[in-house]
Structure 1
Amino acid sequence: MENNNQLRTKANAEQFIYRLTYTEKINNTELPHTEQQLSDTFCFLFSISGRGLLILNDQKWRLKHLTLYTILPGETFMLKTEPYQKQELYLFRFQLYMLQDQNIREVSTEHARSLLNVWQFIDISSIEQIHSLLPEMTEEWKRPEAISFFRSQTLFQQLIMQLFTLHKEDICDTAHALFKTKQYIDQHSEEPLSLTSLSQMAGISASHYSELFKKHFNVSVTDYITKKRMARAKQLMAKGNAKLKDIALETGYQDPYYFSRIFKKKTGMTPSTYMKSRQRKIAAYGHSILGQLTPIHIIPYAAPLHPKWTAHDFEHHAEEIPIHLSAHRINEHAEANLRLLKETKPELIIANDHVTEEEKQVLKTICPVHFVPFTQLDWRAQFKQTAMFLNETR
Structure 2
Amino acid sequence: MKSLDHIVHSDESLRVDQMYFRFRGAEYREGENWEMKQQLTPSYILILIKSGQGSLTIDHTTYRVRPNAVYICPSEHTFGLEADGIGAEELFLFRFDVYGEGERSARRLQWLKSEPYFLQGEVTVFPTGSLVAPCEEILDYLGCADALERFRVQYAFEQLIYTVLKNRRLIQQDSRTALEYAREYLERNYHENITIDQLARIAEISPKYFVDVFKKTYGHSAMDYLTALRMNRAKQLMARSSAKLRDIAHQIGYQDEFYFSRKFKKEVGVTPTLYMKKRRRKIAVYQAAVMGLLLPLKILPYAAPLHPKWTSYYYQTLRSDIPVHLSAYRQGEHSHADNLEALRQHPPELILSLDDISDDEKRELEQIASVYYIPSRDTSWREQLELVAEWLGETAEAAAWLRSYDHKVRLAKERLQPIVQDDSFLAIRMLKNQLFVYRNQNITEIFYGDLQMREAGISPGQMDCDVPLTVEELAQMDVDRLLLLVCQETETLQYWKGLQLTVPWQELKAVKNKSTYLISSDPWRMYAADAIDRVVDASVAMLSGDCP
**TM-score normalised by structure 1 residue count:** 0.76
Matched, 1:90 2:93: yes
1:203, 1:144 → 2: CA distance? 53
Residue 428 of structure 2: aligned partner: none
Residue correspondence of structure 1 range 343-354 to structure 2 within 5 A: 343-354=345-356
- Tell me which residue corresponds to 2:200: 199
Shift of 1:200: 2.9
Q: One-letter code of the match for 1:280?
A: R
Say if 1:29 and 1:79, in contact at 8 Å, map to a contact too.
Answer: no
Question: Are 2:190 and 2:230, in contact at CA under 8 Å, matched by a contact in 1?
Answer: yes
Kept in 2, the 8 Å contact 1:39–1:76? The answer is yes
CA distance in 1, matches of 2:223, 2:193: 12
The counterpart of 2:164, out of the listed 154, 160, 163, is 160
Alignment-derived partner of residue 300 in structure 1: 301
**1:12 and 2:3 are equivalent in the alignment:** yes
Distance 2:161 2:371 in 1: 55
Q: How far does residue 369 in structure 1 lie from its aligned partner after superposition?
A: 2.5
TM alignment of 1:240-319, pairs within 5 A:
240-319=241-320
Give SS of 1:346's match: coil
Q: 1:299 to 1:221 in 2, by over 3 A?
A: same
Task: Compute the displacement of 1:225 (Å).
Answer: 0.9
- What SS does structure 2 have at the residue aligned with 1:366? coil
Query: CA offsets, 1:287-346, max 9 Å, x none?
Result: 311111112211111111112211111111111111111111258422232233234332
Largest Rg, 1 or 2: 2
Aligned-partner Cα distance in 1 for 2:235–2:49: 37
Which secondary structure state, in structure 2, belongs to the residue aligned with residue 263 of structure 1? helix
* Paired residue secondary structure (2:253): coil
Aligned mates of 2:33, 2:275 — CA distance in 1: 40
Residue identity matched to 2:309: K
Partner of 1:7: none
Superposed CA RMSD in Å reads: 4.4
Name the stretch that deviates more: 356-365 or 279-288: 356-365
Q: Cα distance 1:305–1:34, how it changes in 2: closer, same or farther (>3 A)?
A: same
User: What does residue 438 of structure 2 align with?
Assistant: none
Closer, same or farther in 2 for the Cα pair 1:39/1:224, shift >3 Å? farther
Per mean C-alpha deviation after superposition, the further-off stretch among 67-76 and 230-239 is 67-76
1:337 counterpart letter in structure 2: N
Alpha carbons of 1:27 and 1:13: their partners in 2 closer, same or farther (altered >3 Å)? same
Structure 2 counterpart of 1:47, from 26, 40, 49: 49
Q: Distance in 1 between matches of 2:331 and 2:72?
A: 29
How far off is 1:237 after superposition?
1.5
Unaligned runs of 5+ in 1: 1-9, 98-102
Structure 2's unaligned 5+ residue stretches are 8-15, 101-105, 397-548
Q: Please, what TM-score do these two structures have when normalized by structure 2? A: 0.57
Aligned amino acid, residue 345 of structure 1:
P
Q: How does 1:130-169 map to 2 (within 5 A)?
A: 130-137=131-138, 148=152, 151-152=155-156, 154-160=158-164, 163-164=167-168, 167=171
Contact 2:330 2:336 in 1 (8 A): no
Q: Is the CA contact (8 Å cut-off) linking 1:233 and 1:251 kept in structure 2?
A: yes
The DSSP-based 3-state class of the residue aligned with 1:299 is coil
How far apart, in 1, do the equivalents of 2:268 and 2:132 lie?
48
Indicate whether 1:339 and 2:341 are aligned. yes
Equivalent-residue separation in structure 2 for 1:367 and 1:161 (angstroms): 48
CA contact (8 A) 1:67 1:124 kept: no
Asked whether the 8 Å contact 1:133–1:159 carries over to 2, the reply is no
Contact 1:309 1:328 in 2 (8 A): yes
Judged with a 3 Å threshold, the aligned counterparts in structure 2 of structure 1 residues 370 and 185 are, in CA distance, closer, same or farther, namely same
Cα distance in structure 2, aligned partners of 1:288 and 1:186: 33
Q: Distance in 1 between matches of 2:198 and 2:172?
A: 26
- Which structure is richer in relative contact order (CA contacts within 8 A, separation 6 or more)? 1
User: 1:146-187: CA deviations, max 9, x gaps?
Assistant: 974762354135423662597389798xxx654554454345
**2:388 alignment partner AA:** T
Q: Which moved more, 1:317-326 or 1:38-47?
A: 38-47
**Partner residue, 1:327:** 328
State the 1:52 CA deviation.
5.5
Q: CA offsets, 1:39-82, max 9 Å, x none?
A: 67775421124566534556766655444345567864212356
Amino acid aligned to 2:292: G
Q: Which amino acid in structure 2 is aligned with residue 302 of structure 1?
A: A
Contact 1:20 1:92 in 2 (8 A): no
Q: Which residue of 1 aligns with 2:239?
A: 238
Question: How many residues of Structure 1 are paired with residues of Structure 2 in the alignment?
Answer: 376
